[in-house]
Copies of this chain bind each other. A is one copy, B any other.
Amino acid sequence: MPLRLDSREAGFEAAFRALVDDRRDSDADVSADVAKIIADVRARGDAAVAELTVRFDKVDLDAQGWEIPVAELDAALAGLAPDLRAALELAAVRIHDFHKRQRPSDNDATDAQGVRTGVRWSAVEAAGLYVPGGRAAYPSSVLMNAIPAVVAGVERLVMVTPTPGGAANPLVLAAARLAGISRVFRIGGAQAVAALALGTGRIPRVDVITGPGNAWVAEAKRQLYGIVGIDMIAGPSEVVIVSDGGSNPEWIAADLLAQAEHDPVAQSILITTSAAEADAVAAAVERQLETLATAVAARQSWDDYGAIIVIPDLEAALPLLDALAPEHAELMVDDPQALFARMRHAGSVFLGRHTPEAAGDYLAGPNHVLPTGRRARFASGLSVVDFMKRTTFLDCGAVGLAAIGPAGALLADAEGLAAHAASIRLRL
């Protein structure tokens, strides 16, 4: 049974605070294991990667091949059913178009003192994309991670994916080919992240690593952060749906289950102004679960982490949304723009009754790699800029330095940095 709350009832504040503070991330402390794996890859390179891959994935890289040949990627793409290929191509084009609009612009200006300053953006040289094996091996994730890197202008895009038993998901390979990835290595886990961050004989070092993974992958990224750039640490997925009582309960129920089916620790929350709608949605969820192919995970998520919150009016949704800072927020209300304008923290917002999150997951354009676990308070979804960096620049010239240099030298004196002061005064 999902949690059911009413914001007008006694005890709501405490119950809601518990919901906000509830952490669904894994508590497994794998930091020592991961540190050992990273040290091993650092010391022994390919030999360590090969041994760990035998141990964890039962794959002998030297016998079965470290890399999946481009011909196999091409074959996977050629083997897609035509309608599925068209859908994947539509997704790739739309994601590309959206991300092109996120390319940052440089700036360059000279002020009244004659001092020229600005910012120039450039792409990183190489990016590594982690694609999990098993349940979370989604072609859509390949597109969502690779295309921003391509749009940024990254020259070398390397994918790693574990292939326990030796088989790779053909859909994932097709998506990789479509996205412009040419090198795919059959490795996974913390050892794959370490190999990409440090470089080994066979695995090229990259500058940024993105993509979802299990607790070992996430911890390896955290430990290697600073040696390599990484995307946000990702936790279980979540959606908050706000409805004004005028939405189709079957649509809401399907959207709640679309989140829940991802993972037993995913979280689906409905906030509605109507107790009758709350009841109807709860019943629709139960009805849809009866025939849902993914009912096992969805049922567990909904029962353990689902919640329905009844509020008196839409105004009351705002503080709840901002406290939850959800990865996904669906605003199924008459005037979604008005509500959106007043909320602050969310990874991505889905406006109106005809915008199911699933459309955004696949092909609307915005990225589906988004901050989870209340991190939208400070973090953003994956973007072109995650594969770029800024270089600032300054040109004082003799005139500009004459104008601002004396004040700079005074500040250097005050900080006791004599050579800083001298480096300015020598030029005045």
Partner-B contacts on A (CB < 8 A) = 31, 83-84, 86-88, 90-91, 94, 97-98, 101-102, 104, 107, 109, 111, 115-117, 119, 122, 124-125, 138-140, 171, 207-208, 222, 225-226, 228-229, 232-233, 248, 250-251, 254-255, 257-258, 260-262, 288, 292-294, 298, 336, 340, 344-367, 370-371, 375-381, 383, 389-398, 400-401, 404-405, 407-412, 414-424, 426-427
Q: List 26 A-B contacts (CB under 8 A).
A: A88-B411, A115-B364, A117-B365, A122-B344, A124-B378, A171-B414, A208-B378, A229-B378, A250-B426, A251-B423, A251-B426, A251-B427, A254-B419, A254-B426, A258-B422, A292-B419, A293-B416, A294-B417, A336-B395, A346-B391, A351-B394, A358-B408, A358-B421, A359-B401, A359-B404, A361-B408
Distance in angstroms from A3 CB to nearest chain B CB is: 20
Distance in angstroms from A411 CB to nearest chain B CB is: 5
Docked complex Cα distance between A355 and B364 (Å): 47
Distance in angstroms from A241 CB to nearest chain B CB is: 11
Q: Is the CB of A109 within 8 A of B101?
A: yes
Picked from B363, B365, B395, B423, the residue with its CB within 8 Å of the CB of A255 is B423
Distance in angstroms from A100 CB to nearest chain B CB is: 11
Residues of B within 8 A of A350 (CB): 393-395
Q: Is the CB of A117 within 8 A of B407?
A: no
Docked complex Cα distance between A104 and B83 (Å): 39
Q: Is the CB of B355 within 8 A of A392?
A: no
Picked from B293, B359, B396, B407, the residue with its CB within 8 Å of the CB of A424 is B359
Residues of B within 8 A of A381 (CB): 390, 392
Distance in angstroms from A321 CB to nearest chain B CB is: 11
Docked complex Cα distance between A250 and B422 (Å): 10
Residues of B within 8 A of A375 (CB): 226
Q: Which of A138, A233, A352 has the most CB of B within 10 A?
A: A352
Q: Is the CB of A107 within 8 A of B117?
A: no
- Complex: chain B residue closest to A87, CB-CB: B407
Picked from B140, B207, B254, the residue with its CB within 8 Å of the CB of A423 is B254
Picked from B380, B411, B416, the residue with its CB within 8 Å of the CB of A363 is B411
Picked from B98, B115, B140, the residue with its CB within 8 Å of the CB of A365 is B115
Contacts A31-B31, A257-B419, A288-B419 known; 12 new A-B pairs at CB < 8 A = A87-B411, A102-B107, A104-B104, A124-B377, A139-B415, A350-B395, A352-B395, A358-B408, A359-B405, A363-B407, A371-B389, A381-B392
Distance in angstroms from A363 CB to nearest chain B CB is: 5
Stoichiometry, as copies per complex, reads 2
Q: Is the CB of A233 within 8 A of B225?
A: yes
Residues of B within 8 A of A292 (CB): 418-419, 422
Q: Is the CB of B389 within 8 A of A352?
A: no
Q: Is the CB of B226 within 8 A of A408?
A: no
- Complex: chain B residue closest to A255, CB-CB: B423
Residues of B within 8 A of A417 (CB): 258, 261-262, 294, 358
State the 8 A-B residue pairs at the shortest beta-carbon distance, nearest first: A229-B378, A87-B407, A366-B392, A226-B233, A257-B419, A351-B395, A254-B423, A380-B390
Distance in angstroms from A48 CB to nearest chain B CB is: 19
Docked complex Cα distance between A192 and B294 (Å): 45
Q: Is the CB of A419 within 8 A of B117?
A: no
Distance in angstroms from A379 CB to nearest chain B CB is: 6
Q: A88-B411, A222-B226, A347-B392 are in contact. Are A358 and B94 (CB under 8 A)?
A: no
Docked complex Cα distance between A107 and B101 (Å): 8
Q: Is the CB of B407 within 8 A of A393?
A: no
Residues of B within 8 A of A357 (CB): 423
